[in-house]
Structures are given as structure tokens and as C-alpha cells.
Amino acid sequence: MNRGAHPAVANRRVQRQKTLKGPIHCSGIGLHSGSKVSVTLTPGAPDTGVVFVRTDLPAARAVIPAHHRNVVDTRLCTAVANKHGAQVGTIEHLMAALAGCEIDNLQVHLNGPEVPAMDGSAEPFVFLIECAGVAEQAAPRRAIEVLRPVSAGGQDAFARLAPAAGALFSVEIDFDNPAVARQEYGLALSQDSFKNELSRARTFGFLHEVDALRAQGLARGGSLDNAVVISGDKVLNEGGLRFEDEFVRHKVLDSVGDLYLAGAPICGHYRSLRAGHRLNNQLLRALLADERAWAYTWLDETTGMPVGESMRMAASA
């Protein structure tokens, strides 16, 4: 639909869609594949969303929309694929940066099957977005408002969404390791809170698991340059942690990226315990499969909160 032309938003100051002002390039090593990958972020047209384009494949097979229905692998990362079998993995840190910077429409051109790990956080992608510049588009920005609770998982490990006035995250992790142990973190998501509180938190792993992961085709590009590595009760990285609770902050970052695969920002309270990419994807599928649990809405430009009932109805049209 042409959201920019809807009369219900013509005289209302609602958030507008955003893309980049121009293309920007980076390259790096894939965390799991170990391959060097070049990436170019290019502006996207209104209402096209985030789309991955594999430049190393024929054009007819190359396009992979970043959407929860296209998730095909959740082992230590989130991977999406199209009907032709073309795949892109480890998309969650880039998706988190796009969510945190409120980028709605973007083409991600890359010449390999995995987004580069960079330093293991979302900060390099935030830097690229800021260097390219953000362009506001004419079309209003549609959001998903959670209307009733939904959940995935069980009592010991779960991910849940409930109605809330804004995008809230409350995450708890619990590892049988003294360097990580049990940590909790919560925040109200905004551009500022993402950049300052989440974007620098790096992915992490345990040294004793490396051989087994590599036997599964995972972590082949992992190093102290792109992950926090834990051995026993010690962090091996020079300089230690960026935050005292960097581990749980990174889990929040992952969740922000995974939820952005809904195709629009979610207005609701996300809570999780011992969750990961698999439960996050199951949660999105449960939410969007229940028509009573959500509705499209517009977000007020100033407050970022959902607008009134009449506007929700217009957004659903």
C-alpha cells in the first residue's frame, strides 16, 4: 500500500521511514565461515525493507529479504535464505544496528554467505550508518504494536512479548561459568540508548568449545579480534570487558536484531531468560501468526509511542 498518501497521517506528525543518504562500504572476516567478505550498504526505496543481495550469485537467485519467515538457521547466529537456497548468516548485529539507528529501507550487497563479524559488536555498523548519513523518506514509518502477551519456550528458557508503551527489553542470562554467571539487563530502546548502552557489547564464546564448534562448521573465523573469549574464569581479551555486564548486554543486542526481522519495529515489552536466536524466531512466528496479538500502528514523531486507535486502523488498511 502507499502509506505516504493515507489521509489519516497527512496532518499528523508521525515518524517517517529512513534510509542512508548514500552507499558505504566495509569488509571483514565472517565469524563462522572464516571467509573475507565485502559489504556495501546502499539506500533502499520506501516500503522495501532490509534486503540482502548476494553479488557472488546470479541475479535471479541473489535477493534475500531480511524477514523472520526466511530464517533457516539459529545455531549461534541468525541466518536467512530465499527459495533458491541462497543464504546469508550472522545478520543479527547488522540488523540490531539498523533497528537502533531506525533504518527502515536498505540493500546490503555482499559477496559471500555471511555478514562480517567486524569487532563482534554492532558499533562498526553504527559508525558506517553515521558516516553515510541518514535520509528521511516521505512515507510514514509503520510499527507493530503488541496487543496481548505471546511467548515461546518453557519455564527454564523463554522469550516473551507483552503490551507496553514503547520498545522495552528485559533480558536475563545464566551460564555455568563464573566469568559470566547470572546477569540481568533492561532498557527502553532508543537511538541514544542503543548507541551508548548496547552497540559496543561484543559476542562471546568459551575456549573449551572452539574445537567442537569448528567441527560443526562454526566459529572458524572467531578470534580475540571479533569476540570475547572466556577460559575458565578469565577473559582472555587484552583490556578485558567493555562493560562489567557485557555478556548480557550483547544478548539484548542480539534480541534487538532478531526482533527487527518482524519487518517493522515492535512496540512492546520483550522479556527473556536463557533465550537465544531460536527462541527469538519462534517468538516472532508466534506473535505474527496470532492476528489478535498485534496490529500495525504509526509512532508519534516526538514521543515514539503508538498513536490512537483510529491511526492503528489506518495503518492496518
Active site residues: 277
Calpha distance 199→100 (Å, rounded): 8
Calpha distance 276→268 (Å, rounded): 18
Hey, what amino acid is at 68? H
CB atoms within 10 A of CB 267: 24
- Residue 34 near residue 221 (C-beta atoms within 8 A): yes
Calpha distance 295→95 (Å, rounded): 22
Calpha distance 13→301 (Å, rounded): 6
Calpha distance 90→68 (Å, rounded): 14
268, 279, 272: which is closest to 172 by C-alpha?
Answer: 272
Q: Tell how far CA 243 is from the center of its chain.
A: 20
> In which order are the strands placed within the sheet that holds 87-88?
71-73, 79-81, 87-88
Calpha distance 303→301 (Å, rounded): 6
